[in-house]
Structure 1
């Protein structure tokens, strides 16, 4: 398995254009139907469009009370788009779709450099037709930017490995560092694979390779760490409270709640409330479980088979073999990330698996083309045939028991097994017959994941936990090996649920807008998603008391009382909406109880409203 000779034709250019155009249509068509999608981030983008400070810190509101519980790189993109094109669903969601198109293009460019344009096109097609990718590139979570930056980093590593270029390797570090600013420590899961691929294969003495890696590590730290340093040095009184932390510290957020706490399950303020509770069973089968299988499992077994087959066929290649280096890069990315997702004991959601889509697609594309070229070798034809059969079986298990197109599962299984048998004997067929078999195998292989991706794109998504597949709006439906995923848009309901947002009615919206300019915050309410709905509807800042889970210690009761005394908050909204986590601060609950005790309430559009300018 060696890099192909330079192509003499330009056939791949129009094919790439068709792929990118098709991806754009898939990710952009009907995008506005999802509305605000994740209103938690949409409200922060709205805030960023109104205040540069809110944009920089990732504040939930333009008055800068508290930030979202993530580093803000993804919000920078959305906030700038909202500044340019206005605050609406399209200005927030279109950048995510364009990131998807960019990811497909970069993956093609990366795989092409080691395995040729055909492999790059297959890899790009697989990525575009991965349900988890279609879900996230049509949504406004930070995962879209993370994937784009990690694929860009992989491209830089491949370029660096060609001529032992420290410049390209440093650029890879910068891309990963900015990936950290999108989703923190998850971005670093690719670093072992990237470092190993360069260390093994770069055409330079060992000492230079180590020195280059040290420089790349420094660039990663610089790209990721500058923001941490700026926030740490910024006077706390002059910036918003760091949401998701208990000590108003971005360092705590990075290494605690959104860091090692995700691994151990010990996340202060989490609704899961400790290791092993609330986030599903851990183990090697987790990615094939009902919540995750529909989004990512389709080609996962085949990708692992492709990795092992590729390493076997390159076992005698020179140290600097680029094909093996690519296998180390993509395989290491896949294995490390999959193992972390499988065994992490803290908060994990099915859409996280989009981070597995690029390595799965790259391995599938590389193996499909390279093994096809070696099909006269029984081991190669057997591996290729086995990959198709394994994918057909996986699709059958994911879809079996589903009421959604019940004919699809057996059709894919039968078609896949027939194609697998034909592939095994493809070396003995005529050129045209062999080509027809290859095309049939590709169609069957992608039919399950493709159908599920189209179904994902056809469904509007909203709330904090979107799901891939044909069903939406349910929390914990059937899925995985035994039916399509039904992990819906959020649980709970009403004006103030933890994971979903309800926009207020016309009367309440008008009330919030009335005299809003006279107050720092037109209203306050417990939980960020509740605040997001009121803020998006009114266009005025709404304080999210207690942050996302209602467990952040901001504001304290004394701070809130002072804000009220200073006339900075007009209304308090909601009754009984208190902290949702089992650990963390109870300041939000104290505030809600104090308001209920001291202020008269009325009901507007089904929401309890306390006028903080008029006490009992």
Structure 2
């Protein structure tokens, strides 16, 4: 079994690491921040967009800490920024195996790890540089610690689980807390000690969570605002506001000050129980989602008479709580949501499906278990068929093949207890191939397709046009755009590298993605006016004028001086700055980009 684990991890590493640099800078917004962190320790600590520490990214910076340190060690390049996420994917696969093995055996752990590795959303995010990769790794680590805690009612392991979740907050803020209800319920139900001690242990874990998440909030709040970068994504230069507002409850209600194109009730796709099966979400995560729900129900049914401390049922509560709460929030939230968020569901689906397959196979002499095993495969074959029909030009033979083999095998599985051992095992292998063929092929297609831009989505290259973005979408030409990265030519890049010692910022431009492209090309700090959406109130017009007066900014760049926040409730200061520059400085055009020289 150890050899099988090594083979699984090696195959996962190959899938996630092979030709990793094909995606270039991937999400240039985070790559530019990693570049800044490789040049400035202050930029690394705060997650600044530029090494001159003008404004931060709109997230807590734990994922950037990893990327920045890698860039410091190996230089600023695509590989050094992307490989940490690939290694996180291998780590998450191993931890999923280790967690499931403790409650259901090594074979189940291997199957769960395989399902996770072959989830398209995982193949996307573990080859990309969004913070979701670190989030998933830490959440699986927290699940492992919770399983260990339940085994012997260990407060030490439960505190470690709280610390893992708390550190996950520093990667993706409030989203990390969606797993807490399932973890807490599992411990409260199954830990082998009295109710008072269970509550006390949970309280200790809660304190550990708050401390491991809150220390950073406290440091940023106490740090003099004049001596740190502006907190990107906030309207009041407050990390707490960013946590609770734009990246917090605003994501639920849709009331996100400074957001562009969203808003309550629209802009981010239709909400509802079937949202995860919509065109934006389904390709990344929906392949085995119905089977996971069936697996949870089946597992709870078969463990209904088990003792309170039964480890198998505790595991179902951990993974099932994770799946139900996270899926419900993703399905019903009215604010910003992107298809790649669904990677947070992948470990729970993998664990539930892997556990159900092995347990139902062992109980196949029971007609109910045999029927659930057969029905689960049939359900997954139909789901795969429907999803593959949406990609009719990609491997058109795969959909009918999976459907026919899956349905035929599901019928045969119902009678597997009457077959010989060799025949039954051969049938099980065919069933597993049918089960994983769709999600596996889609994951490989995702891994072999370069992705860039702010909102990638899983799938083959023909999937780039789906709502929400994907593939190589997001390139906004030489001057970029809201979600696209600027691509400066050689003449403009050379211009940005001249006399850089005289200036704090080689240039300024509206929006973080515009600034990121110029900064990555030139290696020089570029000020993102207005932050990601161009709607943050930094810098003010007076601040910008003072920067210009003090000779801190060399150029202002922008094609047509596009400002993104026309339909948002955020600040219009970037528009004021653009208007002031256009009224007071002459422009030239270099490589298709309007350039204002702000030299006095």
The 1:374/1:80 distance shift into structure 2, 3 A limit, reads same
Query: In the alignment, which residue of structure 1 is the partner of 2:511?
Result: 527
Contact 1:272 1:347 in 2 (8 A): no
Contact 2:45 2:65 in 1 (8 A): yes
Q: Any unmatched runs of 5+ in structure 2?
A: none
CA distance in 1, matches of 2:272, 2:49: 36
Contact 1:463 1:501 in 2 (8 A): yes
1:276 deviates by 1.4
* Range 105-114 or range 418-427, more displaced: 418-427
The residue correspondences of 1:50-449 to structure 2 (distance < 5 A) are: 50-401=39-390, 402-449=392-439
Contact 2:245 2:256 in 1 (8 A): yes
CA distance in 2, matches of 1:378, 1:326: 24
Please, which of 553, 558, 561 is the counterpart of residue 576 of structure 1?
561
SS of the residue corresponding to residue 544 of structure 1 reads strand
1:487 deviates by 7.5
1:474 deviates by 3.7
The 1:23/1:439 distance shift into structure 2, 3 A limit, reads same
Contact 1:473 1:488 in 2 (8 A): no
After superposition, what is the alpha-carbon deviation per residue over 1:378-418, rounded to whole angstroms, capped at 9, x for unaligned?
A: 00011111111110000011111421111111111111001
CA distance in 2, matches of 1:549, 1:314: 50
After superposition, what is the alpha-carbon deviation per residue over 1:122-163, rounded to whole angstroms, capped at 9, x for unaligned?
A: 000000000000000000000000000000000000000000
* Range 589-598 or range 463-472, more displaced: 463-472
Contact 1:552 1:584 in 2 (8 A): yes
The reply to whether residue 608 of structure 1 matches residue 598 of structure 2 is: no
SS of the residue corresponding to residue 209 of structure 2 reads helix
CA distance in 2, matches of 1:335, 1:318: 24
CA distance in 1, matches of 2:471, 2:180: 30
Contact 2:455 2:470 in 1 (8 A): no
The 1:595/1:290 distance shift into structure 2, 3 A limit, reads same
The 1:140/1:168 distance shift into structure 2, 3 A limit, reads same
After superposition, what is the alpha-carbon deviation per residue over 1:254-300, rounded to whole angstroms, capped at 9, x for unaligned?
A: 00000000000000000134201210100011000000100000000
CA distance in 2, matches of 1:354, 1:161: 26
1:488 deviates by 6.3
CA RMSD of aligned residues (A): 1.2
The reply to whether residue 598 of structure 1 matches residue 587 of structure 2 is: no
CA distance in 2, matches of 1:398, 1:597: 53
Contact 2:453 2:470 in 1 (8 A): no
The residue correspondences of 1:440-459 to structure 2 (distance < 5 A) are: 440-459=430-449
The reply to whether residue 585 of structure 1 matches residue 571 of structure 2 is: yes
CA distance in 1, matches of 2:30, 2:140: 23
Contact 2:100 2:108 in 1 (8 A): yes
CA distance in 2, matches of 1:460, 1:274: 30
Contact 2:190 2:309 in 1 (8 A): yes
Query: In the alignment, which residue of structure 2 is the partner of 1:482?
Result: none
- TM-score normalised by the chain length of structure 1: 0.96
Contact 2:25 2:31 in 1 (8 A): yes
SS of the residue corresponding to residue 263 of structure 1 reads helix
CA distance in 1, matches of 2:278, 2:475: 20
Please, which of 34, 38, 60 is the counterpart of residue 49 of structure 1?
38
Query: In the alignment, which residue of structure 1 is the partner of 2:451?
Result: 461
Contact 2:265 2:334 in 1 (8 A): yes
Equivalenced residues, count: 597
Contact 2:449 2:471 in 1 (8 A): no
The 1:199/1:458 distance shift into structure 2, 3 A limit, reads same
After superposition, what is the alpha-carbon deviation per residue over 1:547-601, rounded to whole angstroms, capped at 9, x for unaligned?
A: 0000000000000000000000000001322133522000001001111110010
The 1:273/1:126 distance shift into structure 2, 3 A limit, reads closer
CA distance in 1, matches of 2:215, 2:206: 14
CA distance in 1, matches of 2:461, 2:381: 22
SS of the residue corresponding to residue 586 of structure 2 reads strand
1:372 deviates by 0.5
After superposition, what is the alpha-carbon deviation per residue over 1:47-68, rounded to whole angstroms, capped at 9, x for unaligned?
A: 0000000000000000000000
Contact 1:476 1:487 in 2 (8 A): no
SS of the residue corresponding to residue 76 of structure 2 reads coil
1:489 deviates by 3.2
